[in-house]
Chains A and B, each alone.
Chain A
Amino acid sequence: MDPVYKALVEIAGEGHVSNRPEELHTYSRDLGTSEPHRPDYVVAPRTTEQVQEVVKLANRERIPVVPLGGGLSLAGLAVPLRGGIALDMKRMDTILEVNEKARYAVIEAGVSQGKLISYLHRHHPDLRHSEPQAPTPATIAGNIAIHGQGDLAQPYGFNSDMVNGLEVVLPTGEACKIGSCAVSPGWFTLHPLPDLGLFLGWFGTTGIITKLSLRLFPLKRIREVEQFVVEDPGLVPEVIYKVTHTEMAEDVFAGTQSTIPARVGLHHVTVYITADSEKELEFKTGLIWDDALGEYIRSGDGGFADLLPPMKARFAARPGMLLSTVCDTLQGGGFEYVGGIMPVETYPQCCQRGAEIYSKHGIPQLMIARVIGRAHAMMFAWAYPFNRGDAESVNKAREAVHETDDLALDLGGTIWKPGVYGQKKLMERMDPGTLQLMRRVKELLDPNGIMNPGNWEVA
């Protein structure tokens, strides 16, 4: 028997290790356009100690380790570019604690979005987390590790801004805690201890998150959706600015697409308003509709659409499945998008230049932007569906993704969860000092270069 395989079985148990072709095939790919690469082993640990043992083994044997949660980044971030061990964190799926008064949850890294949503619904119905529009098997930790955003992005920022603490296993096998959990039983704050933010946005190249503490927020009884429609994309930044100024909205999206004929040539700013009473809802709606956006309505430049209840229900549903249901417009099962973190003022150019890329590759347009903070930024997504069974379709989507990576940077943004191509482009433009710091961090933490190699490889 392969000694590495045997050692992994001793660590994680017989049923939780595989080097069979079926599993290697499954873990070789993700749903995006990245080329597949097979791991040599797949292992699903149950405890932090098991993760540590796997990492120590990998160091001894100089085998790459690629941690993954749901593997749904769509950018190939959990595809084992140099083979090695695919470390599936999904068995570590215990919700360890929910502190209602301090509003946080401590969870293991394999807890899925769906599990947390249903747990809170059942046991803590007044609390919620910032839920991304990812499929429900996606993990909380995976989303945070890539600086995801959810439906509380507008008031509270990135999901990674909502972390109170982490437990991580370093690339050399030590475990450590970040935040108040390092000095206290409570996982209630990351600050004001020394900043050890070395594990988010690194795609597993600096360590493996095994636990985290996530801030929770009030769950309001009523969740209403309104959609403001304009023809001129130049108005969208203004509209977003005015809506966010009210501080009355929760989630705010803007977008345009060519897949629904009624909506072609139009831009829809979707505003979620939550409340515990009709009085609160009316107050918030009035501020947004009548005060902030009234001038556009009166001039006829923009207006709130009459969203019928069945459509509203789809928009308002939690977990939010709308993106998942609209993304497969080519009915080919393939979908990838470039998420640029962009200044809101670039919305018109993002649309215009994005339209050129869609047209060039013959792909139907679907562009959506989620506001982060009080219009501090937006996550602008250029979405590219493709037919998985058609190599030409896959190539077109891949080329479009790469051109869009360039576009996001040309327009002054950064790329959210960049694949290898996007990482290279970012590093080409990066401040040299920053680049060197990244290299030093990686060398310090991962001297043997085993953690998800091929990612953030600083020359």
Chain B
Amino acid sequence: MYELKHDERKCLACHSCDCLTKCQYMDIEIDTAKTEIRKIINGEDSFVLHQCATCYACEEYCPKGNHPFYLIVERQEEMGILPTPRPLIRQALQMGVPQREFKVAEVHEPAISMCMFTALAGSIQGKLYEGVSILPSGTQEGMHFFCQLMYLHFARTSVIKERLPRIIDNIARHNVKELICFHDECYGAFASYAPAYGIEVPFRPIHLFEYLYNRLRELKNDIKPLNLKVAYQRPCSSRLSPDKLHFVDDIFNLIGVESVEREYVGENALCCASLIRGQSKEGSRRIAADVQRRNIGDMVQGGAQACIFNCPYCFISSSERVAKNGLNPVLLGDLCRLAVG
């Protein structure tokens, strides 16, 4: 079975313990951080395992790339410390099981995987996506391409390890050499999680924003600047690919969009908190409401006219809330389509 490539020596030698001291949900000073990370490494109980909000941010904070969040999830599962009530975990796991067979379609590159968000396949059209094949080809086949990484929120890394190789195989059967990932978390699954566990990925994952940026440069003459002030909603999964974050501003610069001044941006970004709301630890509902209030309030205060989403799940769960606060919710891909017509 797949083992996490975690080097405990790196953790134990770390002077900053950024993974814990920078946590937005737990107030941990350095000495406590060192104690707790040692416990986690040794498989002992730690309050961190109980209090973790599963925002993924520590994966980015770690200066050594030593996967502290994946380690936390491993320990949670080993010790039966579930961040979310069991019935919700069960429901989520059952949701991810494909219910019908899928057909291997004839696909030409560039190809894009919609993951389970096949309902949004309508976004993949126009000049921006000219010639792009969509996987899966059938709208009912999404679960055969679902990256599984959301089970990190449910301390079910074992399920990811079991199912992800099959998903990769389903994609590989289409003989794609490169795959654009519509869902940011898919990119994280193939580019971060899989290597961290030694799961082979026989194609090169392409971050959607990287694809969009390159395509926009090709269509530079067709771009009509949007002249919008926006706030970018950074999802949890983006913490797995911080090297791609710059594409957000690169794209904004190309299409005449200004990212407003904000407190919760970059490393300090707040997640959508949708899955925090139902977590087991006391006060989760209020914590989620507070995060959402601060996050959106920050966007509004900055003068944003629109909230630009990366993750389809964030988009579906948060659009209404964002709109009620006077911001237009838009997926980044759709924003780019607006710019090129």
Contact = CB atoms under 8 A, between A and B. Distances in A.
A285 B280 CA distance: 16
A410 interface: no
Interface stretch (A75-83, A131-139, A288-296): A288-296
Interface stretch (A150-158, A263-271, A365-373): A263-271
B278 interface: yes
B90 A265 contact: yes
Interface in B273-319: 274-275, 277-278, 280-286, 289, 316-317, 319
Interface string B59-98: 0000000000000000000000010111110111011010
A229 B89 CA distance: 10
A298 B278 contact: no
B8 interface: no
A300 B82 contact: yes
Interface residues of B, number: 29
Interface stretch (A168-176, A197-205, A303-311, A427-435): A303-311
A299 B282 CA distance: 10
Contacts of B99: 261
A229 B280 CA distance: 13
B317 A306 contact: yes
B278 A306 contact: yes
Contacts of B283: 290
B87 A308 contact: no
Contacts of A308: 316-317
B94 A263 contact: yes
B285 A303 contact: no
A261 B92 CA distance: 10
A231 interface: yes
Contacts of B94: 261-265
Given A264-B94, A290-B285, A303-B280, A309 B86 contact: no
B66 to A, nearest CB: 29
A87 to B, nearest CB: 47
B29 interface: no
Contact of B316 (A282, A300, A310): A310
Given A298-B282, A300-B82, A304-B278, A309 B317 contact: yes
B85 A294 contact: no
Contact of B86 (A263, A282, A285, A301): A301
Contact of B91 (A290, A294, A305): A305
Contact of B85 (A262, A265, A297, A309): A297
A298 B282 CA distance: 6
Contacts of B85: 229, 296-297, 300-303
Contact of B88 (A229, A282, A286, A298): A229
B31 interface: no
A302 B89 CA distance: 10
B90 A231 contact: yes
B87 A302 contact: yes
B320 A229 contact: no
Nearest to B81: A300
A298 B281 contact: yes
A18 to B, nearest CB: 46
Contacts of A231: 86-87, 90
A351 B99 CA distance: 24
A295 B131 CA distance: 54
B90 A303 contact: no
B317 A305 contact: no
Nearest to A278: B324
Contacts of A289: 285
Given A305-B278, A306-B275, A306-B317, A300 B86 contact: yes
A310 B318 CA distance: 11
Contacts of A230: 87
Contacts of A301: 85-87
Given A298-B281, A298-B282, A308-B317, A303 B87 contact: yes
Contacts of A298: 280-282
Given A298-B281, A303-B278, A309 B90 contact: no
Contacts of B319: 309
Contacts of B92: 262
A229 B286 CA distance: 19
A331 to B, nearest CB: 15
B259 to A, nearest CB: 26
Given A297-B85, A300-B85, A229 B91 contact: yes
B280 A309 contact: no
Contacts of B87: 229-231, 266, 301-303
Interface of B: 82, 84-88, 90-92, 94-95, 97, 99, 274-275, 277-278, 280-286, 289, 316-317, 319-320
What are the nearest 7 A-B pairs in CB distance? Answer: A303-B85, A262-B95, A229-B87, A303-B88, A262-B94, A309-B320, A300-B85
6 contacts: A230-B87, A265-B90, A300-B86, A302-B87, A305-B91, A305-B278
